[in-house]
Structure 1
Amino acid sequence: MNHLERIWLMQTPSRMGPAWREAFARACEDRGWAFAVHERGEPAPPPDPSRSQLTVSWLDWFEGQPVTRFYVQRGTADDSPDILARAGDLGPSEALYEGSLRLAAAELMLQNGADLIDMNDEVVTLQGLGDVSRPCEIAVSQLGSDHPLALYKSAPLKTGDSIRWPPRVFSYPGLAAAPEDGRIELLGRRRMLFNGPNIFLPPGRWRLDAEFSINPPARTELLIEWGFGEGARSLSVVIEHPGRYSVSLEQEWTRVAAADFRISLMIPALAGHLDFHGAVVTRIGDYVAPAAPVLEDAAGA
């Protein structure tokens, strides 16, 4: 039996994605390959037992699926929220959440050795299938440096890549909308003042640098947290004087997970306010998985 290729190609959401899938499907039909599309939440398409197969996915690969080569095909990063908002009737924050999930999952696949191809390439070459020409050219907007997903402007990510998240992309419980200036009145019970932006990051070591100004009515206690889930890094601080403060926290992402930075008021306040000035997130290194334990013969037998 001839060698069968099992290609898994993950696409990040893009205006050009559907046209590329049609081009891949035609190329497979012309060259005797099987073609499949995997949608999120659906079972993984089974491999064709008699033909090579190309599977195009919008998310990650299923462990146990036989694959001979992985590819990631990326469009312009700021396409992602727009495409997902239209396809899934999502609001801006939900679309940003989903778009960053797809981009972080693609980054993880690149970290694990997938080959990178671009939606704007004139021709892409897939192992065994050969050349597939770009089906069309669709104008897409360029990603601005102030976009919440600007971290993903290029791939793969490198140590030192960073993104500034302004106050407007965070969530403020109890407020109808995010304040443009990041001002939060402290009056009230102990509570979370803000959190977010819940944008996904891939595995790696990440540092957050944030600044805020505070005018407390008296002695005030804050809990500052950065990370994801129960493993978030936390810092408890007591503030007795008005001023502008900075904080720097480092955390290791062991998997694709949503980044959450939050500040909570830990004692009730009768007056005062806090101005959040935004945060900068920087990739400071790779995630290194712990080595597997090795059993050695202490007697040297």
Structure 2
Amino acid sequence: MNVLIPLALALILINHQKIRDDQYYRFSVLSIVGITYFFIFRYIDYYLSIFTLGDIWHSITKVIVVLIAVGICLSPWMTKSTTVKAGVCVFLFVVSIFAAFGFDRLIKIAITDLGGYFGEPPKIGAPEYAGDAVRYVSDTGGYSLSIPIHWEKRSHESQADYFVIQHEDITLAELRPRCFHETGIVMAEVIKNLKADALIESRLAESHCFKQAQAHVCLVKSIASAPISPLERWRWLVMNPKTQQNIDIDVLIYSDNTAIKDEINFVFSSLKINSLPTPTPTCLTSMDWF
């Protein structure tokens, strides 16, 4: 918002009489200012935040946009105002507002795609597991997983199922399969939020995102920078941008056991998603479990 102040001051000081006396020019200028703030700045902020560019790029980009907007408002073509020009500017402002609030998710998905957010699939370790496994099916979530047979199935107070592996009553890892259908959020925002949470907890977070068929898939690993519990937290997220059927396999790792990590990778690779006729957000678990 601060960078709009020079825009407003420039227009008022340089062309204040024209703005005051010519209502069509005034409508045109206000429309351009509105488009700049409510639409262009909105998605500049989104782009720069998901690609983690520095604050200097925020300032430089917005200053350039402001200068362009000022140039348009002060151009001879714009100052020779007409009813048609004012109508076009107001129409574009209305369209931009409608797009920003009605198609926000689709615009953000397009920005992440065009910006190259999704890369090559990560190497998640052993693709096969030599031991016995059972198939876990979630009808509400529309997905199934293969779980090593020695992982114990439990039920959270929210009635959500999860799995733990223990040794001498010490929990080595905990696996929480969840879904969050129709939340309206896009993958890049989920990853940004997870990294912000990891930073608050003094954890180092890294992510690998890629496309798989129609789905957006990300592996997020946050590793404790100090001896805190859990040592690591892995998230395998699969989101379908068209159906908004979203799966989250959340794993808390309390041991640096390589075999357990291989089993977790096996579970990730075993995920099968069955399309639901109408995904609903009823599969959400209580927030204290996140």
TM-score by length of 1: 0.25
Structure with more of its chain in helix, by fraction: 2
Who wins on radius of gyration, i.e. which is larger?
2
TM-score by length of 2: 0.26
